[in-house]
Structure 1
């Protein structure tokens, strides 16, 4: 349920309101454009053209100095090529990088088959049936000629004669043994250096084969000439070794401040490449880089704006919150840019990127902190020349920070959150380093811990200043205000103990009800603690502080009593200004009574008036009515706590009935018109109030009037044991 606010009459007032709305909207657009321009500047600064224009063969007119630390691509590439060459030389002498070449084995197998078939043609053919055509038998000289021509094999004549004299059966047996032994030898790893040993091994195997001496010699001569090296480099292993050697080369750095070309020196091609690596060479604007980064920034801005529009529209409507969001994001991006310019390449991992999640979660909302962490992480990746480990680290660290400070009870919890973020950063850097084979990233993982702790230290330091500058009260500030040792609460407890006790009870009621309707329970509790501090000026005029004293209102006019009672609102605002209470707390002081009627003194004045000249408006609080959910809840809790004191024999039914009656009366009187409460919220508030109040009125055991010393200290039984009560 929401009732419309009654509009004020007057064309001039409406015109003023329209102008203010337009001015506020324009201010927000201007601020958003300014933030976007600064972010673009941070990202595009290294995409702008350099100022040096020089060519090969020209004389340098001044010392050309490296503005940043960068990789010397020429020297690094030369070292990589040298490492690859050395790796190839190293593996060429290592037998572990060779494998048997199937083609070499197959070639020897074909040669063995061909030679033995040729020798078989020189043997005497078997006698066939009459009329069969017998193949022509080759002469020894023809066999010798073909062996030399086709295979470059020489076999002594006597050995050839021994072979061709064999019958076909005997030859086939000889050929089978010889071929098997040659192929068996070729199945072994035979290098160029190990060729002699392989042939000697073959000779030994022939001698064990049991051939005749003349055939044995022929097989040995044949095999020693057929067996060849069969090893070839394993391409896969060689490439792995080469790649490993190349990756082991550390990039050669051109250090910031190092002179590339001295004044008067002739510019050589390698100088030109170095200047290009450093972005010093004037080659014109890199329009592709400019367009790409601009689109990236616009895409991230659109994502952030769409998310806030759908989920956190108050941020877009509040210029202070919008400024805070922009200030924190720009600061972290600027730090990222500065760290990327340092001479130490790993310095980018020191950027306290978790600062976005920590500060925005504490000062605005966890959802705002989360989406801002996502956007910032992407932009930091672009700033660090698309080193995506930086982006991943910023993303995970930022979201971890959001989760770590969602529930805080003191500023020390920020330090704990910093260590949590740092620990997650260390584990993430180790994981990324091991997964990518980047030992440098794994070894530098301690930087992640420093980054997390640094973020928490900075957050602790700047948080009070941001709260003051942007008029925002963080949960930590609210927790500090809820401390009973706060000077104002301390005064309230000592000078107006009844009001202090009342405020504590109202705080308990308000916190339970606020949490029941999804409001800020901590804000409601702290607002309740301070809503009646104005009673410190004249505490004895309020009934809760009149225990054992006369009521001074019995001796003064109702109109004066009303003025004193209602003035505690104004007095409270003065005290709030004196003690520098934040606006979110002072609103409870100003609005907790709204424009409600001081009924007791109004009725007294009406009864005492003879002419009926008493006007109701003179007995009302000045307002305004409760503007927010939490203030409305405190207003209801204030009335409920005071009313339940009058119950003589409270029961759950009586309590709930009284609570719902008070809420209904406030609703009917219009005091809740400007709050965000709905009918469903009011039902939940009534249930929460009833539950807390029933706990306040719990029953106690009634003790007898006289308790003997023995009953206090414990009665002794007959066996001497003491029974404690």
Structure 2
């Protein structure tokens, strides 16, 4: 058992060491606003450009708000409309009350109002709203000369009508004339009990006093902005793109891109990633050991087989890491996981070979910059290689097996290419076919 524990610890440390190699690049020293001195910096992996993406998201959100600002579905009646209506009403009838009193004091009852007084009243009303320019002089004269009882009744009815209209009806700047045209129907509502003789004066006063009462529905606007931001396709910095060349002035955009790539300020990331990889590796090894202990316990007694299983796993991961460090894209499709699955099938049973191959495909996905597409590709390729080993008895069947595996790889690349929007599918087809043999 001592040797098995040593093997387990050694394999664990080797796997963690392989996974963490070059996962966090060396820190690059740059100074904002100063020329960069050093080798050209290229993106070691594909990441999202957060600065550009955020800028596009903000532009999309602003554009969506601009397009929706005049649409009724994104507007609601302002909670201040009732207060504004009451204030306007009080200002208008303060003027009327004062002028009625002034008219009574100067002229007495049943004496016509002078044109000068009517112009003075209109001038005061214009300080409340410019729409009083269109209010007929006859209406002003009628309001000033109404008997007190009729005036108070009209005043009370107008307050009720005006406040109700401004707090219940959506009145936009574009549709305010339509609302004015429909005031007669509103006055006929039995709810208000308007006397026929009061209706013409009330209608003309309402036409002058109406104002747009809509404001933005902030909840719907925020939902619209969020939806617009979600529809923005993230701007990506592709692996190998030139970030900085010697002599370039370092800008805020350069700093943000380097930060996205963990090329600066990544000291904390190193520790976090190391422990995360250790836990990840321990978890996958635990799954494998759990399966062996409960379902294939006889293998534990076969020490040579354990050494070979561990060696194959470490070698496959080491080769995968070496190929990923080459930064040659087509090398990513030539990691010998399928071959490892075949060898594991010979050394043990297909079920155990499949478990190990599956776990190795997850680790290869981590090595290849957490590439989900390649993880799925190697999982399917490894599974197909193990399946093709069933009933393999003659040499000519090796050719059939290679053709089958190449076909599976080709179909997988096509499917994943359309699913993940992979570019350069043509070259990847060739690499997948070669990997099958």
Pairwise TM-score range, normalised by the shorter structure: 0.5 to 0.7
Cα distance in structure 2, aligned partners of 1:379 and 1:230: 58
Does residue 312 of structure 2 align to residue 327 of structure 1?
A: yes
Does residue 49 of structure 2 align to residue 64 of structure 1?
A: no
Answer whether contact 1:339 1:347 (CA < 8 A) is retained.
yes
**Distance change >3 Å, CA 300–CA 79, structure 1 → 2:** closer
Does residue 181 of structure 2 align to residue 201 of structure 1?
A: yes
Cα distance in structure 1, aligned partners of 2:263 and 2:291: 40
Alignment equivalent of 2:141, drawn from 151, 158, 161 = 158
Answer whether contact 1:422 1:448 (CA < 8 A) is retained.
no
Decide which moves more: 250-259 or 298-307: 250-259
Q: What are the ranges of 5 or more consecutive residues in structure 1 without an aligned counterpart?
A: 1-21, 123-136, 431-439, 462-725
Answer whether contact 2:341 2:385 (CA < 8 A) is retained.
yes
**Distance change >3 Å, CA 272–CA 293, structure 1 → 2:** same
Cα distance in structure 2, aligned partners of 1:408 and 1:360: 15
- Normalised by the length of structure 2, the TM-score is 0.65
Answer whether contact 1:401 1:417 (CA < 8 A) is retained.
yes
**Aligned twin of 2:421:** 443
SS in structure 2 opposite 1:101?
A: strand
Deviation at 1:45, TM superposition (A): 0.9
Alignment of 1:391-470 (within 5 A): 391=375, 394-395=378-379, 398-399=382-383, 402=386, 406=390, 410-411=397-398, 412-413=400-401, 415-416=403-404, 419-420=407-408, 423=411, 429=416, 441-444=419-422, 458=435, 461=437
**Distance change >3 Å, CA 99–CA 318, structure 1 → 2:** same
Q: Per-residue CA shift, 1:250-284, capped at 9, x if unaligned? A: 42426527361415x55555444444444444865
Cα distance in structure 1, aligned partners of 2:145 and 2:382: 90
Answer whether contact 2:74 2:221 (CA < 8 A) is retained.
no
Alignment equivalent of 1:182, drawn from 161, 165, 172 = 165
**Distance change >3 Å, CA 67–CA 423, structure 1 → 2:** closer
Alignment equivalent of 2:22, drawn from 36, 39, 46 = 46
**Aligned twin of 1:11:** none
Answer whether contact 2:100 2:145 (CA < 8 A) is retained.
no
Cα distance in structure 1, aligned partners of 2:244 and 2:352: 47
**Aligned twin of 2:55:** 81
Q: Per-residue CA shift, 1:557-578, capped at 9, x if unaligned? A: xxxxxxxxxxxxxxxxxxxxxx
Answer whether contact 1:108 1:227 (CA < 8 A) is retained.
no
Cα distance in structure 2, aligned partners of 1:450 and 1:64: 28
SS in structure 1 opposite 2:216?
A: strand
**Distance change >3 Å, CA 305–CA 454, structure 1 → 2:** farther
Alignment equivalent of 1:289, drawn from 273, 281, 291 = 273
Answer whether contact 2:89 2:159 (CA < 8 A) is retained.
no
Cα distance in structure 1, aligned partners of 2:53 and 2:78: 36
Answer whether contact 2:410 2:433 (CA < 8 A) is retained.
no
**Distance change >3 Å, CA 196–CA 354, structure 1 → 2:** farther
Cα distance in structure 2, aligned partners of 1:287 and 1:416: 44
SS in structure 2 opposite 1:444?
A: coil
SS in structure 2 opposite 1:256?
A: coil
**Distance change >3 Å, CA 324–CA 255, structure 1 → 2:** closer
**Distance change >3 Å, CA 299–CA 77, structure 1 → 2:** same
SS in structure 2 opposite 1:93?
A: helix
Cα distance in structure 2, aligned partners of 1:43 and 1:311: 28
**Distance change >3 Å, CA 257–CA 325, structure 1 → 2:** same
**Distance change >3 Å, CA 457–CA 385, structure 1 → 2:** closer
RMSD: 5.3
**Aligned twin of 1:379:** 363
Cα distance in structure 2, aligned partners of 1:72 and 1:442: 15
Q: Per-residue CA shift, 1:626-662, capped at 9, x if unaligned? A: xxxxxxxxxxxxxxxxxxxxxxxxxxxxxxxxxxxxx
**Distance change >3 Å, CA 109–CA 415, structure 1 → 2:** farther
Cα distance in structure 2, aligned partners of 1:102 and 1:175: 20
Q: What are the ranges of 5 or more consecutive residues in structure 2 without an aligned counterpart?
A: 103-119
Does residue 296 of structure 2 align to residue 312 of structure 1?
A: yes
**Aligned twin of 1:369:** 353
- Bigger CA radius of gyration: 1
Deviation at 1:80, TM superposition (A): 3.0
Q: Per-residue CA shift, 1:412-439, capped at 9, x if unaligned? A: 2453355457656766x59xxxxxxxxx
Alignment of 1:231-246 (within 5 A): 231-233=215-217, 235-236=219-220, 239-241=223-225, 243-245=227-229
SS in structure 1 opposite 2:74?
A: strand
Cα distance in structure 2, aligned partners of 1:330 and 1:96: 64
Cα distance in structure 2, aligned partners of 1:350 and 1:213: 94
Cα distance in structure 2, aligned partners of 1:235 and 1:254: 37
Deviation at 1:392, TM superposition (A): 5.6
Cα distance in structure 2, aligned partners of 1:237 and 1:61: 47
**Aligned twin of 2:212:** 228
Deviation at 1:332, TM superposition (A): 5.5
Answer whether contact 2:406 2:432 (CA < 8 A) is retained.
yes
Q: Per-residue CA shift, 1:584-626, capped at 9, x if unaligned? A: xxxxxxxxxxxxxxxxxxxxxxxxxxxxxxxxxxxxxxxxxxx
Does residue 84 of structure 2 align to residue 99 of structure 1?
A: no
**Higher RCO (CA < 8 A, seq sep 6+):** 2
Deviation at 1:44, TM superposition (A): 0.8
SS in structure 1 opposite 2:273?
A: helix
Answer whether contact 1:66 1:259 (CA < 8 A) is retained.
yes
Answer whether contact 2:342 2:385 (CA < 8 A) is retained.
yes
**Distance change >3 Å, CA 448–CA 101, structure 1 → 2:** farther
**Aligned twin of 2:110:** none
**Distance change >3 Å, CA 237–CA 115, structure 1 → 2:** closer
Deviation at 1:227, TM superposition (A): 3.5
SS in structure 2 opposite 1:62?
A: coil
